[in-house]
Structure 1
Amino acid sequence: MNACTRLSTTSATSPFRRKETPVQPVVHKQTRNRVFKELPLSDLVRTLSVLSVAALPAPLLSAIIGFVRRYSSTIVSSRILSWPIRQTFYKAFCVGENKSEIAANIATLRTRGINGVVLSFAREAKLDGHETDSVSGSEDVALKSWVASNIETISQVSSSDYIAVKFTGAGAKAVQAMQNFKYTDSTMVDGLTALKEGMFELCEFAKQRGVKVMVDAESSLHQPAIDYLTLEAMAKYNTDGSALVFNTYQMYLKASLDNLKSHLQLASTKGYTMGVKLVRGAYIYVEPDRSNLIQDTKPDTDHAYDAAVDLLLRGTHTTPEQPWTAEVMLATHNTESVDTAMELFRSRPAGKQPVQNLVFAQLMGMADEISMKLASEIKAISAETKSNDVSVYKYSVWGSLEDCLLYMLRRAEENQDAAVRSRVTASLMLGEIGNRIAFWR
């Protein structure tokens, strides 16, 4: 019996029950109870203006995205054109351009019950194909720049925050080495040596600062190398009973649940704590072989996500003598997933559990009703139980307007299918504005 078989969930007792054809996001009564009452009117108006653009018909939105991408430098250099973008989209999705802005905005999030941020540098690698195939760490300027930008990101946050790392941001040489990677070929493993050393360098700095390192998942073409590098970092830095390094699992991939199970087994065998971030996934539209790699339907992805949460929070072990332990972040904009995971976590039997703390995360500028509802629930739970074992974070980026503009355009492309969820957010915000205007109610 292999590790994937031993680490199984029992569907008959699982608390997850999904319909095969969900029609729209579930919005519970608690969510309708003025979750935005703590937000200033300026924030509500700004978010509504952003959502109004996101709700445009897909062909028109695609045309706008293409135009802005083509003329991004011109737009950014113009005060007239850049000012409205900075006041709306930039402030909605990005946390700032310098340390003082970032600190002030994170402090504001904390006053609203958000525990902190998962911070990433907005600038993305431009892979133009002109670099050579050499992966020499001493000569790879792009790799050095990647390490430096991640170290700078670590310096922007506090010990209660995370940073998000994208390995493809290390430049074309590193990307080529990742694409060539085969675990069974020592030459291909050696090809990742420079990238591994760079990863360890930023992990050392993060360890000194007490900041956790969240490695983002990317396309399945690069994921085997990402898994290898991240597990190597976990084996080195997750050995003191907590997780400094986290790996991300995209549940739209058919193999993700089995990979998670085998990685839990590996962590148990080697004696380190797994860092796990679960997402449904953002790279589904760039996968090269959709039929074999990707779940057949959206409900299949939901079932895989639910099964992974069930596995982690119900604490299925390999053997009682050799349990695995993990720190878990559930990155989701799905109300049903959040509510069920919270219920499952709170209803676990007393005693030592493999997951002691649960973290939720949503993108900054998106699904704010979920984040604010969680913040309210967590505050109530903490007051009642005197425990702080559940928290909520926002994933955000920092950088110049131009760097963040390109990030925002990519997010817009990835989330064109989120129109229904955006309408829910807009409806709740309009309701909150209505409550403030109709002061006699």
Structure 2
Amino acid sequence: MTTTPVTSPFSRKETSAHPVVHRQPRNRVFKDLPLSDLVRTLSVLSVAALPAPLLSAIIGFVRRHSSAIVSSRILSWPIRRTFYKAFCVGESKSEIAANIATLRSRGINGVVLSFAREAKLDGNETNSTSAKEDAGLKSWVASNIETIAQVSSSDYIAVKFTGAGAKAVQAMQNFKYTDSSKIDGLKALKEGMFEVCEFAKQRGVKVMVDAESSLHQPAIDYLTLEAMAKYNTDGSALVFNTYQMYLKASLDKLKSHLNIASSKGYTMGIKLVRGAYIYVEPDRAGIIQDTKPDTDNAYDSAVDLLLRGTHTTAAQPWTAEVMLATHNTQSVDTAMSLFRSRPTGKQPVQKLVFAQLMGMADEISMKLASEIKSMDGAVNAGDVSVYKYSVWGSLEDCLLYMLRRAEENQDAAARSRITAGLMLSEIGNRMTFWR
């Protein structure tokens, strides 16, 4: 499905990859941030804006010497005070709770939280037959349950299936819809996933399943749809699947999954992203959108489909809760406009959530928070909200996450410059005493 200038509000005149932020001098999006937060973020962005070869060299050095850096007070202190505080929500339960409370005080509704530490593998798991016998899977289940315990009801946790151990990863790679034995190979992982979902249901926490490479995605889709069919049956979504719109097949897959949810009578949980695995796909030419504008168009078409309630060959209407995880200003603005202009009455998308990474695109998050606050009953409370995606764990746990995040976002220099410019403008406003 594609949109047209006649029927769609999306219109991308710019072909550049540079995002557009509409500056509003009188509406200072960072006016509620403490000066210390502004200075810290600017210091982080100054590193992110370094030339790519230099940044890659720094990332490689830190990765090779991560243990020594973490164990050194002199070296670890500045990292903890800058990058860790910018991208990670904390280590102890009290620290995590305090930082989430700070986010909420600024209008952010909550967090999508992931545990930074990856599951530890051992050589005994390849012969296991259940979640209770699989050491890597047990560690994965325990870490997700521990993450659920760190957040409040209405928050989300982010689940990454490839963290579940070597046996689980191998079963995912071997998976085929048409082979019952390959489906049976996922039994232990499905058992572990349901254990996580049960605890999440008790706590009122939603489970966001991250998308991964296309090598593992068919198994992830199968497991997530199975969990939705079990846990999304009360008119709301507990479990969410992620759709990476840089993949050519994602829009059709989304439509197919909406039809499945409609036929089985459960609410779809949908997270839309442009995608983070583009550099590791085995067949980029065959499965990746040909250009960045093609990815933007696919993302826009998916948003248009969901918020207008169009499409589908389903016999019954579908319902969904949607998270738009994006740092693209135009996508955010148009989605909000579509959501606010919907006709009254029951709509297929019951809740719309926007999400940005903690430490990135704060101008978008703060602008959304302000706009949601000013709606004054235009939509029901809780129908639209804004969240931050973050990780928790020790400095050592989070260091590798921060390095991966830096690598993934080396091409986000334009976004970093925009954020830095707005923050410098805010600091300038505070220092100009006559304003």
Q: Fold match, TM over 0.5?
A: yes
1:136 counterpart = 2:159? no
Letter in 2 for 1:174: A
- 1: CA distance, partners of 2:341 / 2:175: 42
- 1: CA distance, partners of 2:186 / 2:334: 40
Residues 30 and 345 (structure 1), Cα distance of their counterparts in 2 relative to 1, 3 Å cut: farther
**Root mean square deviation of aligned Cα:** 1.6
Equivalent position to 2:68, from 74, 92, 95 = 74
Letter in 2 for 1:426: A
Structure 2 gap ranges (5+): none
1:414 counterpart = 2:425? no
What are the residue-to-residue correspondences of 1:231-250 with 2, within 5 Å?
Answer: 231-250=225-244
Q: What is the DSSP-based 3-state SS (H/G/I as helix, E as strand, rest coil) of the residue aligned with 1:296?
A: coil
Per the TM alignment, residue 385 of structure 1 is displaced from its structure 2 partner at its CA by 5.5
Residues 177 and 73 (structure 1), Cα distance of their counterparts in 2 relative to 1, 3 Å cut: same
Letter in 1 for 2:129: S
Q: What is the DSSP-based 3-state SS (H/G/I as helix, E as strand, rest coil) of the residue aligned with 1:323?
A: coil
Residues 32 and 95 (structure 1), Cα distance of their counterparts in 2 relative to 1, 3 Å cut: farther
Per the TM alignment, residue 26 of structure 1 is displaced from its structure 2 partner at its CA by 1.0
- 2: CA distance, partners of 1:157 / 1:145: 19
Contact 1:362–1:393 (8 Å) recurs in 2: yes
Which residue is 1:87 aligned to? 81
Residues 135 and 167 (structure 1), Cα distance of their counterparts in 2 relative to 1, 3 Å cut: farther
The answer to which structure, 1 or 2, has the higher relative contact order (CA under 8 A, 6+ apart) is 1
Contact 1:48–1:429 (8 Å) recurs in 2: yes
Equivalent position to 2:53, from 41, 56, 59 = 59
Aligned residues: 433
Which residue is 1:226 aligned to? 220
Contact 1:127–1:172 (8 Å) recurs in 2: yes
Q: What is the DSSP-based 3-state SS (H/G/I as helix, E as strand, rest coil) of the residue aligned with 1:428?
A: helix
Structure 1 residue runs of 4 or more that deviate by more than 6 Å after TM superposition: none
Equivalent position to 2:44, from 28, 32, 50 = 50
Identity %: 85
Equivalent position to 2:269, from 275, 285, 310 = 275
Which residue is 2:112 aligned to? 118
1:37 counterpart = 2:31? yes
1:21-72: CA deviation from partner (whole Å, max 9, x where unpaired): 1252111144872100000000000000000000000000000000101111
Structure-1-length-normalised TM-score: 0.95
Per the TM alignment, residue 125 of structure 1 is displaced from its structure 2 partner at its CA by 4.2
Equivalent position to 1:366, from 335, 360, 363 = 360
- 1: CA distance, partners of 2:312 / 2:77: 56
Q: What is the DSSP-based 3-state SS (H/G/I as helix, E as strand, rest coil) of the residue aligned with 1:213?
A: strand
Contact 1:31–1:370 (8 Å) recurs in 2: no
Q: What is the DSSP-based 3-state SS (H/G/I as helix, E as strand, rest coil) of the residue aligned with 2:279?
A: helix
Contact 2:88–2:358 (8 Å) recurs in 1: yes
Residues 308 and 34 (structure 1), Cα distance of their counterparts in 2 relative to 1, 3 Å cut: same
What are the residue-to-residue correspondences of 1:119-268 with 2, within 5 Å?
Answer: 119-125=113-119, 133-137=126-130, 138-268=132-262
1:302-354: CA deviation from partner (whole Å, max 9, x where unpaired): 00000000010001254696100000000000000000000011111221100
Q: What is the DSSP-based 3-state SS (H/G/I as helix, E as strand, rest coil) of the residue aligned with 2:211?
A: coil
Equivalent position to 1:437, from 407, 431, 434 = 431
Q: What is the DSSP-based 3-state SS (H/G/I as helix, E as strand, rest coil) of the residue aligned with 2:11?
A: coil
Letter in 1 for 2:249: A
Structure-2-length-normalised TM-score: 0.96
Per the TM alignment, residue 386 of structure 1 is displaced from its structure 2 partner at its CA by 6.1
- 2: CA distance, partners of 1:50 / 1:146: 31
Q: What is the DSSP-based 3-state SS (H/G/I as helix, E as strand, rest coil) of the residue aligned with 1:281?
A: coil
1:298 counterpart = 2:298? no
Which residue is 2:317 aligned to? 323
Q: What is the DSSP-based 3-state SS (H/G/I as helix, E as strand, rest coil) of the residue aligned with 2:251?
A: helix
- 1: CA distance, partners of 2:376 / 2:194: 36
Residues 135 and 22 (structure 1), Cα distance of their counterparts in 2 relative to 1, 3 Å cut: farther
Contact 1:30–1:373 (8 Å) recurs in 2: no
- 1: CA distance, partners of 2:429 / 2:114: 36
Which residue is 1:3 aligned to? none
Per the TM alignment, residue 87 of structure 1 is displaced from its structure 2 partner at its CA by 0.2
Q: What is the DSSP-based 3-state SS (H/G/I as helix, E as strand, rest coil) of the residue aligned with 2:213?
A: coil
Q: What is the DSSP-based 3-state SS (H/G/I as helix, E as strand, rest coil) of the residue aligned with 1:248?
A: strand
1:99 counterpart = 2:93? yes
Contact 2:262–2:315 (8 Å) recurs in 1: no
Structure 1 gap ranges (5+): 1-7
- 2: CA distance, partners of 1:27 / 1:383: 26
Contact 1:32–1:428 (8 Å) recurs in 2: no
Q: What is the DSSP-based 3-state SS (H/G/I as helix, E as strand, rest coil) of the residue aligned with 2:302?
A: helix
Residues 102 and 132 (structure 1), Cα distance of their counterparts in 2 relative to 1, 3 Å cut: closer
